[in-house]
Amino acid sequence: MAVPDVRVAPSLLAADFARLAEEVRAVEAAGADWLHLDVMDGHFVPNITFGPQLVGAVKRVATRPLDVHLMIAPADPYLAAFAEAGADLITVHPEASPHLHRTLQAIRALGCRAGVALNPATPISAVKWVLDSIDLILAMTVNPGFGGQAFLEAQLPKIAALRRLIESSGRAIALEVDGGVTAETGRRAREAGADVLVAGTAVFGASDYAAAIAALKAPLTVAA
């Protein structure tokens, strides 16, 4: 299996919110490809973060695409607000809507790319029949809700299976991994087939953002 090129999406949840504009500019200068924004409602996941207003504030200073991950239920009533705030890609969970296909259609109708996030226990079959409406699949390698958790190694075979599903579909679908991503776990996720890495503390907890992002993008040596 060919190893795809990797993009890094620093998670702003780990940034210093008192200096958010500076943090955005710093990670972009350091080589970030996307900016990842985790929206949590205290209902679908046991934490509360931020809403469309903060996404709009980031949009005013960002030059990279905004990758907005909605960990909220229901998601449908808020899609338009996040699109209007400046989201370039909106990712939802299958469990957050009774009609996933309709939700994905609505995201695309708003002019955004559409993603589906799979929690560790969510089966791959949740996306099998909507691949024609997906631009990204997000494999969660922690249970969503909090940053700083340990990478779940048992998700690596799932990432590999998702890569095979994407390749068999012939579609240009990104495969993103989020949760406990470091240079080491990111390398294993990439070897399994991931091509987008979300990293929070691995970037914002580092003294040198550019070095941290470069470590996540380090070339892989894969046996033929």
What 3-state DSSP class applies to 115? strand
C-alpha to C-alpha distance for 24 and 35, rounded to whole angstroms: 8
Distance from C-alpha of 112 to C-alpha of 6, rounded to nearest angstrom: 21
Round to whole Å and give the CA distance between 47 and 34: 23
Query: Could you tell me which residues are annotated as the binding site?
Result: 11, 36, 38, 69, 145-148, 178-180
- In the set 33, 41, 76, 178, the catalytic residue is 178
Q: Which residues are annotated as a binding site for substrate?
A: 11, 69, 145-148, 178-180
Q: Is 76 one of the catalytic residues?
A: no
**Which candidate in 38, 41, 67, 195 is catalytic?**
38
53: exposed, middle or buried (Cβ count in 10 Å: 0-12, 13-18, 19+): exposed
Whether 38 is catalytic = yes
Q: Is 4 exposed, middle or buried (0-12, 13-18, 19+ CB in 10 A)?
A: middle
Q: Which residues sit in the known binding site for a divalent metal cation?
A: 36, 38, 69, 178
- Annotated catalytic residues are 38, 178
